[in-house]
C-alpha cells in the first residue's frame, strides 16, 4: 500500500496482447512503488498532506528513491535501443486511447510503434490498440491509481520493442499520482478535454508542471460546451508557461496533423 496516495498497486498483472491469438498473463511479484521522478524540470512533489510531515517524507523518500532508480534503469535501456518514449496522462475519459488509435493509424508504415496500456482493470484499451495491428501490453494495476517504473520495466520485457522505435504509454486515468512517477519516459503528454472545465491546470498543477506538451482534445464539442480555450491556455501558462499546447479532435481529426508532426520531430531529434 502506498502511504502517500493510499492506492495499492503491489500486484499488477502484465498482459501481452498480440495482434494474433498469443496472450500471456503474468501475476506480479513483490512490488513497492515510488512517488518520485527525476526529470530536471519536474517539481518536487507536494507535502501538504494532513499526515505527520516527518513520517510521510521519510516513507516517500524511500519509495521515491526506488522508483527513481528503476526509472533511470528504464531510461538507460530505452537510450541503448534508441526507443523514444511518451507517457500520456489525463483524467479518465479525456481521450488517451482514442488519440493513440488515430496516432497509430497516422504512423503506420512510417515508424515501429509499441504501446503499453495502464488501467486498474480490463483489457478494453489494449484490445482497441491491438485492433490497429500494433503490439500492445496491458498493465492492470488493481487498486493502484498510476503506473510506476517497475511495471514499465516488466511490461517492456514482455513487449520487447525493436531498436529505433516509438513506445507510447497510456497511464491510468488520473490527474494526480501519475504526475509523481517517472517511468523513464523521454517526454510526458498531458491531455485535457473541453468537457472537463478550464480550471484543471490550477487544481492539478503538478501534472501540468511536469508535462512537456498539452493536448486540448475534443475541440469538435466546443460549440456545445461552456468552455473557453483561451481561459484554459491562460491557466496553463500560469502553472507552466513553457507548456506547448495543441488543440485537436481525436474524433474528427481536426488539428491532429500538428500532433503527429510534433511526434515526428521529437523522434527524429529535431526538437
Ligand X SMILES: Nc1nc2c(ncn2[C@@H]2O[C@H](COP(=O)(O)OP(=O)(O)OP(=O)(O)O)[C@@H](O)[C@H]2O)c(=O)[nH]1
Q: Which residues bind ligand X (CB under 6 A)?
A: 90, 92-98, 119, 125, 173, 217-218, 220-221, 249-251
State which residue, 124 or 202, has the beta carbon closest to ligand X. 124
Distances in Å between the alpha carbon of 28 and those of 13, 72, 221, 230? 6, 21, 40, 44
For 206, the grid coordinates are 503538478
Residue 220 contact, options ligand X, Mg ion, none, Cβ 5-8 Å cut-off depending on partner type = ligand X
| Shortest spacing between CB 173 and Mg ion, in angstroms | 6
In the DSSP assignment, the letter for residue 186 is: S
Q: Which does 12 bind (CB under 5 to 8 A by kind): ligand X, Mg ion, none?
A: none
User: By CB under 5 A, is residue 97 in contact with Mg ion?
Assistant: yes
125 is a site residue for Mg ion (CB under 5 A)? yes
CB of 88 to Mg ion, least distance (A): 9
- Minimum Å gap between C-beta 188 and ligand X is 15
Residue 201 near residue 232, CB atoms below 8 Å? yes
Instruction: Tell me the C-alpha distance between 268 and 271, whole Å.
Output: 8
Nearer of residues 95 and 201 to ligand X, judged by Cβ:
95
Give Rg (Cα) of the chain. Answer: 18
Report whether 216 contacts 229 (CB < 8 A).
yes
CB of residue 95 to ligand X, shortest distance in Å: 3
21 is written with which cell numbers? Answer: 491469438
CA dist., res. 77 & res. 219, Å (int):
37
Q: What is the rounded distance in angstroms from the CA atom of residue 11 to the CA atom of residue 28?
A: 5
| Binding track, positions 53-92, relative to Mg ion; x by CB under 5 A | ----------------------------------------
**Who's near 215: CB < 8 A, 6+ residues apart?**
95, 99, 189, 190, 191, 192, 245, 246, 248, 259
| Of 49-57, 120-128, 202-210, 263-271: span binding Mg ion (CB under 5 A) | 120-128
Residue with cell 497511464: 171
Span near Mg ion by CB under 5 A; candidates 56-64, 65-73, 103-111, 121-129 = 121-129
Q: Of all residues in this chain, which one has the CB nearest to ligand X in the complex?
A: 173
Our CB check for ligand X shows the closer of 49 and 251 to be: 251
Among the listed residues 35, 37, 96, 154, the single contact to Mg ion using CB under 5 A: 96
Closest CA to 104 of 233, 252, 263: 263
Q: Which residues sit at the interface with Mg ion, rule CB under 5 A?
A: 96-97, 125
Amino acid at each position: 500500500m502506498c502511504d502517500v496516495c493510499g492506492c495499492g498497486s503491489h500486484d499488477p498483472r502484465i498482459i501481452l496482447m498480440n495482434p494474433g491469438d498469443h496472450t500471456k498473463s503474468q501475476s506480479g511479484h513483490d512490488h513497492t512503488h515510488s512517488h518520485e521522478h527525476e526529470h530536471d524540470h519536474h517539481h518536487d512533489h507536494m507535502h501538504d498532506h494532513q499526515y505527520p510531515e516527518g513520517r510521510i517524507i521519510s516513507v516517500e523518500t524511500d519509495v521515491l528513491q526506488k522508483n527513481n532508480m528503476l526509472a533511470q534503469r528504464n531510461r538507460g535501456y530505452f537510450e541503448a535501443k534508441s526507443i523514444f518514449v511518451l507517457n500520456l496522462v489525463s483524467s479518465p475519459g479525456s481521450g488517451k486511447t482514442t488519440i493513440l488509435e488515430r496516432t497509430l493509424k497516422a504512423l503506420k508504415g512510417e515508424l515501429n510503434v509499441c504501446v503499453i496500456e495502464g488501467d486498474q482493470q480490463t483489457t478494453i484499451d489494449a484490445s482497441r490498440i491491438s485492433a490497429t495491428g500494433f503490439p500492445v501490453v496491458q498493465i492492470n494495476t488493481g487498486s493502484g491509481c498510476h503506473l510506476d517504473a517497475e511495471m514499465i520495466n516488466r511490461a517492456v520485457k514482455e513487449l520487447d520493442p525493436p531498436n529505433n522505435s516509438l513506445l507510447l504509454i497510456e497511464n491510468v486515468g488520473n490527474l494526480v499520482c501519475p504526475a509523481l512517477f517517472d517511468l523513464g519516459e523521454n517526454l510526458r503528454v498531458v491531455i485535457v478535454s473541453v468537457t472537463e472545465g478550464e480550471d484543471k491546470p490550477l487544481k492539478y498543477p503538478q501534472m501540468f508542471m511536469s508535462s512537456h506538451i498539452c493536448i486540448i482534445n475534443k475541440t469538435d464539442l466546443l460549440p456545445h460546451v461552456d468552455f473557453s480555450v483561451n481561459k484554459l491556455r491562460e491557466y496553463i501558462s500560469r502553472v507552466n508557461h513553457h507548456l506547448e499546447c495543441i488543440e485537436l479532435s481525436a474524433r474528427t481529426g481536426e488539428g491532429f496533423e500538428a500532433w503527429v508532426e510534433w511526434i515526428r520531430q521529437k523522434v527524429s531529434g529535431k526538437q
